[in-house]
Amino acid sequence: MSASAASSGLPIRIALFGAGLIGSKHAARIAEHPDFVLAGIADLSVDAVAKAYPHVPVRADAAALLDEIRPDAVIIASPNQVHEAHGLACTERGLPFLIEKPVTDTLESAATLCRAVREAGVATLVGHHRRHHPPVTEARRLLAEGAIGSVVGVSAVWATCKPGTYFEAGPWRKLKGGGPILINLIHEIDFLRFVLGEIASVSALASHRQRGFAVEDTAAVALAFSSGAIGTMLLSDAAVSPWTTEQGVGESPEFPFSDENGYRFIGSAGALEFPNLKLWTQDSAPPSWTQPARARALFAGRLDPYRAQLTHFRDVVRGDAASLQPVEDGALTLAATLAVAEAAAHGTRIELAEPAETGQSRA
């Protein structure tokens, strides 16, 4: 960020790479935010994007855009395959960036980007926006403080039906890497790492029976955490249910609010449903199956996590806050998610390297 903008409290001039589905959401949040101004967009569909954003320069070449408009920071919302190149373009110019999930599309490209970022000392934030959601922070606090005793495990369902238009708009979504494991489960894995700590191993089954695309539409995943807790998740983008975190928290108007809980955490002294934060405990110790479990509804508040994420990014860019999720941490979520895809493809259990072995840090 330029010294003048940093010290004067001027709005941060931000560039956006990719103005598609999520990029347009970022553009809308930037437009509403008093501390940001959109300085330019890089997108291959120059004409269409220039029509939608007539007030800013739109270029096809992201690196050339940076040299032309010299922004203070960047949001990378381009396809996964170009995240590494786009992240490196920012890093080489010393520009802080918010990069959409997954941080990159392979472990090798994530390692390259993490190394470059570390050497350049550039501030980064990965776009796992859930970390900015009050029910998520509250669940993390409750579990860490022992509200359900020692966490024994978690059972979760993430199931919704993506319409045909979703695949027509992005045919890459029908191919390997474009399915619910890498697109959607990655958010759930990141959430689980955030609230329960590192994942030690994964096993999985996947099916493409519903749609018949090359990529999976459904998967069943078993997880073992370093803490000793274990868990399961049933995931599908070809089934109707009220159980997705998106519907449960009502984070976005396009996903109707269901107020339903997709997650059940169980512990030695109680249970917690998420995202509704229904806490189940017994009246007296020791716990026994002859005692009723009673529920208390907790309320953590609601806000737009994309806007909260942008505000956090402002603080990171200005040096007022440490990033809640630098690229090294996003790489750990990517590693666990890719391990699920590999476990599903080979029908095996995959052990994950400890963060120390990968040279990356824990959350």
Ligand X SMILES: NC(=O)c1ccc[n+]([C@@H]2O[C@H](COP(=O)([O-])OP(=O)(O)OC[C@H]3O[C@@H](n4cnc5c(N)ncnc54)[C@H](O)[C@@H]3O)[C@@H](O)[C@H]2O)c1
Residue 80 binds ligand X (CB under 6 A) = yes
* Token output for 130: 């859930």
Residues 158, 243 contacting (CB under 8 angstroms): yes
- Is 190 an interacting residue with respect to ligand X (CB under 6 A)? no
**Ranges within 129-158 binding ligand X (CB under 6 A):** 129
What would the two tokens of residue 126 be? 């990965």
Q: Does 18 bind ligand X (CB under 6 A)?
A: yes
Nearer to ligand X (CB atom), residue 61 or residue 351? 61
Is residue 274 involved in binding ligand X (CB under 6 A)? no
H or E segment and range at residue 192: helix 186-196
C-alpha of 325 from chain center:
10
Token pair listed for 196: 């329960």
Q: Is 170 in the site for ligand X (CB under 6 A)?
A: yes
In the complex, least distance from residue 134 CB atom to ligand X, rounded to whole angstroms: 17
Of the residues 30, 38, 82, 110, which one makes contact with ligand X according to CB under 6 A: 82
Angle ∠(149,150,153) on CA atoms, nearest 5:
115
Residue 127 found at the interface with ligand X (CB under 6 A): yes
Q: Which residue is nearest to ligand X (CB)?
A: 20
Among 72, 100, 138, 329, binds ligand X (CB under 6 A): 100
Distance CA 159, CA 212 (A): 17
CB of residue 100 vs ligand X: minimum separation in angstroms? 4
Q: Does 43 bind ligand X (CB under 6 A)?
A: yes
As given in the structure block, the two tokens for residue 328 are 């090294």
**In angstroms, rounded to a whole number, what is the distance separating the alpha carbons of residues 135 and 114?**
29
Nearest distance in Å: CB 43, ligand X:
4
63 binds ligand X (CB under 6 A): no
Residues binding ligand X: number (CB under 6 A): 23
Give the pairing type, strands 36-42 and 12-17: parallel
Answer yes or no: are the C-beta atoms of 281 and 269 closer than 8 Å: yes
Binding interface with ligand X (CB under 6 A): 17-23, 42-45, 62, 77-80, 82, 100-101, 127, 129, 170, 183
